[in-house]
Structure 1
């Protein structure tokens, strides 16, 4: 792993508009120390069926843990099968327990300890006393094939926990018992890292796939199955992107909530997306989520998008969702265009190529899988969108809500 440093977070061309626009006026007033350190963490999609993971090192013995990297959650949790806090001289036990479930129905129950978390083994960046959940009950699919855990990169209000009558390690509280505890909130790892002045309040993803490319016997060695998480930076990583950034406004500090305005299939008429209703209690109609390896459109939007594909004679393949590559002519498939509300007054226009919403050689060589779905609630703009763009989550601006910035990725 390499550690880069920079004294400026923005290319010169971006400094003037960012500093003069009102959305950035609160950046200096957010508190915390400012650091010029950035960490480029290698990540891979092989261990978690397309979702990306990177390595952290837990406790005084620096136990190596592969954590799924998720902007759709906020908790740092590690599998208790691989890390034992009772054998960690840096660990402090607490009375706090957590139980967390995810949209794919995976879940875990665990106890919170405070311990050292290290990233970047070559030039270690150590943060002591990090609230870390040690999962002692988990569904089988929770941590994939990794020596695992999950690192949530969203905001504090997603990181709720429960104070119990006694220590939560060793494990003895059940799911129902934890639910009866006193509710509290834990500051997420990345927020603690930034507050300590170790990195700036932003991070970025470089990814090329949303499912594992299975063309080789060792997919972990295939460059397109690997990428980077940049902690503390983004725009200075000029070898990972090209062109200017587009900045989407984040409208709520739970997930990375954005306003999706329209979806266009090729050259067909745009599908207009309505704001969320009051009854839905959703703060926005879309979320940018690194922990989802598909694009999920709200049902009414998906219905209209599907009609556009039908007009192009492509709806049979959409319904199939899985084809031999010999029957998939990607040249005949249109680009999907997503328009988001911008942070600087103009809309953000993002293109998703057929090569990313169809994942070739997945889940096996010679076949292709469609990673474009429908669901209830806000649309989820997952990895297939991010695979087209170097994506920066800058939480230091917009009164702490942040912006999500997109620049064309360099393959």
Structure 2
């Protein structure tokens, strides 16, 4: 769920033991840090139509909130219908308000309080005085069946407005918020790592980009579950195999990467141009956990579609939704994405038909194509990550970070 900006970027557990020394990440060559404490947070995709959420605990009463986990935005927001800061002895009101919109059209308006945020119910990792937005106006589709969002991108995306008076209880409208003095607030994860409690990295283990409806109880289907690792990644050796490939992040707004080419099966690679100065884009692609598809910009998508057409797959591709009895996955090619590497060699990532076609979705016996076109930059969402254990290491590359990929087990 890439955050919509006012510039031309886009129009969406358990405490782990001491990290093991046998780390198989090339990011170590860049000086990446390993934390003695990591949090393995169980996550699920059933509350947000394929996007993943995890549980946090808010305030002195530890109100349980399921939050959408999004590397395409930076704000921590909770639904004001679920959490009431006036009943939280840990909460400190502020005069800071936020109105945040996302590329899918969802948005919310709220006020910021400072309060305690905990992760992990058994052995809580508690961070006090976290900038927490309490949303009191939101579009109907904003939170889905969860009750908040946890953005994991950088501070520059977490813009806010200083108002003449307290922003809780709610009384400022969208237009009034816009008249405030522009400021930025430090995101949750940035606050967490600054304390030294965890290293400046996190990782995702996911298997799906849409909810698998293969069983009558999708909540208990392991395909719909995964993990967010706070403070680590490479030490979670049960979640991946082999070595990591390390992609360079080129800007500290989103996780901006340079997409060099896309290849359909064994056809000639399609070269991807860098962004023009006029576009205002920091790169030609973004890695985003909050998008449950792959969106290629129009010129690249057009060339990809031509390759599928040459294989006789155009009709099924355009349909985008088929009974599984009519979908022959063996006829569909592997897609290869080449990203600029951080260690001198390119990163080559394969997206299989089993991930860009989501079977048993949105209902049993049917399959949905999660491959689309959109404006530049391209968004490399969950279908790419579903093939790889994906580590976002922000401690290297002069603070911009790297994104590392190793095959999931």
Category of TM-score, reference length = shorter chain: over 0.9
Aligned match of 1:6: 18
- Offset at 1:116? 0.1
1:311-390 pair list within 5 angstroms? 311-390=310-389
Aligned to 2:229: 230
- Supply the distance in 2 between the matched residues of 1:5 and 1:232 (Cα, whole angstroms): 12
1:82 matches 2:82: yes
Whether the 8 Å CA contact 1:392–1:404 is kept in 2: the answer is yes
**Contact 1:11–1:235 (8 Å) recurs in 2:** no
Q: Deviations over 1:3-60 (max 9, x none)?
A: 113245x635547x733xxxx26x68xxxxx841000000000000000000000000
The residue aligned with 1:260 is: 259
Distance across 2 between alignment mates of 1:132 and 1:55: 15
Structure 1, unmatched stretches of 5+, are: 29-33
2-side partners of 1:11 and 1:280: how far apart?
A: 43
**Structure 1 residue aligned with 2:184:** 185
Kindly indicate whether residue 141 of structure 2 is the aligned counterpart of residue 141 of structure 1. yes
Large movers: runs of 4+ above 6 Å: none
Mapped to 2, the partners of 1:223 and 1:6 lie a distance apart of 27
Between the aligned partners of 2:368 and 2:290, the Cα distance in structure 1 is: 18
Partner of 1:210: 209
Partners of 1:121 and 1:195 in 2: CA distance:
22
SS in 1 for 2:144: coil
| Local SS of the residue matching 1:178 | helix
Task: Report deviation, 1:394.
Answer: 0.3
- For the residue of structure 2 that corresponds to 1:37, the secondary structure is coil
Count of residues in correspondence between the two structures: 397
CA contact (8 A) 2:247 2:402 kept: yes
Quick one: structure 1 residues 38 and 47, their matched pair in 2 at CA, closer, same or farther if it must change by over 3 Å?
A: same
Distance 1:253 1:246, change over 3 A: same
Distance in 2 between residues matched to 1:12 and 1:173, nearest whole Å: 50
Q: Deviations over 1:84-123 (max 9, x none)?
A: 0000000000000000000110000000000000000111
**Distance in 1 between residues matched to 2:23 and 2:197, nearest whole Å:** 24
CA distance in 1, matches of 2:243, 2:313: 33
- Paired with 2:223 and 2:18, the residues of 1 have a C-alpha distance of 27
C-alpha contact 2:23 2:235 (8 A) present in aligned 1? no
Task: Give the TM-score normalised by the residue count of structure 1.
Answer: 0.95
Mapped to 1, the partners of 2:17 and 2:254 lie a distance apart of 28
Residues 155-174 of structure 1 aligned to structure 2 (within 5 Å): 155-174=154-173
Equivalent position SS for 2:38: strand
- Please give the per-residue CA displacement for 1:354-379, whole angstroms capped at 9, x wherever unaligned: 00000000000010000000001100
Corresponding residue number in structure 2 for 1:122: 122
Measured on the aligned residues, the alpha-carbon RMSD in Å equals 1.2
Aligned-partner Cα distance in 2 for 1:315–1:185: 46
Give 2:28's aligned residue: 18
In structure 2, what is the equivalent of residue 31 of structure 1? none
User: 5+ unaligned residues in a row in structure 2: which ranges?
Assistant: 1-12
Distance across 1 between alignment mates of 2:85 and 2:257:
38
| Aligned residues of 1:93 and 1:168 also touching (Cα < 8 A) | yes
Asked whether 1:106 is paired with 2:118, we answer no
Report the TM-score when normalising by structure 2.
0.95
